[in-house]
Amino acid sequence: GAGVSQSPSNKVTEKGKDVELRCDPISGHTALYWYRQSLGQGLEFLIYFQGNSAPDKSGLPSDRFSAERTGGSVSTLTIQRTQQEDSAVYLCASSRLVSRGQETQYFGPGTRLLVL
Amino acid sequence: GENVEQHPSTLSVQEGDSAVIKCTYSDSASNYFPWYKQELGKGPQLIIDIRSNVGEKKDQRIAVTLNKTAKHFSLHITETQPEDSAVYFCAATSIGGYQKVTFGTGTKLQVIP
């Protein structure tokens, strides 16, 4: 009965370095989302994976951001050449498609990224 | 695409009073409206949801209403308690190639003991 897990829980890096954030969705969930939440702000959609379909990358803010989902399960969000404005909480969510247009997303605890 | 507006951004109530958070959406094709509660340092957690074929849903002290004609939905919390203090997000799904969820900007609720 494990929920969505994310690692690391906190990451401090220097400007210009690359970082990788990991998300383990709930077993059996075919959909996986990445969001970014800046301090005191709402949820900014980044990318969506659904089964074997091509991911929706429309929310990625720049080409420094990329994500992969291997084997339809674990996902990695990579930020290259990090900038201070990348500092935020990165949230992952997964869902089991209930019916078209209706689904419940279950969120992980997030990774808090601080770029110095 | 879908646009969800949420009001108020902050809300303070006395313990025991009711709290109401309102959201509007733009896409008439949206048919699922979840509400999430986010406590400090944690990810959002689903607290209640409503589907388009229902006008109201209640779960203990929490209720959600939906007016599809006016394209707005609301969260009602009665008999508020200090542990209700958190940030609440509404959301809506827009039917398209897949079920992308659009979130409101959040309401920070403070329940004063």
The reply to whether residue B32 touches residue A108, judged by beta carbons under 8 angstroms, is no
Of A49-53, A91-95, B16-20, B107-111, least confident by mean pLDDT is A49-53
Q: Which chain B positions have a beta carbon within 8 Å of A24's beta carbon?
A: none
User: pLDDT of B34-72, one tens digit each?
Assistant: 999 999 888 999 999 998 888 999 999 999 999 999 999
The reply to whether residue A101 touches residue B99, judged by beta carbons under 8 angstroms, is yes
User: pLDDT of B79-92, one tens digit each?
Assistant: 999 999 999 999 99
Q: Which chain B positions have a beta carbon within 8 Å of A43's beta carbon?
A: 44, 89, 103
Amino acid at B53: N
The reply to whether residue A103 touches residue B51, judged by beta carbons under 8 angstroms, is no
What would the two tokens of residue A104 be? 């419940």
Q: In what order do the strands lie in the sheet with A75-79?
A: A5-7, A19-24, A75-79, A65-69
Cα angle B94, B8, A111 (rounded to 5 degrees) comes to 65
User: Within 10 A of B97 (CB to CB), how many other CB atoms are there?
Assistant: 9
Alpha-carbon distance B17 to nearest alpha carbon in chain A (angstroms): 25
Exposed (0-12), middle (13-18) or buried (19+): which is A21, by Cβ within 10 Å?
buried
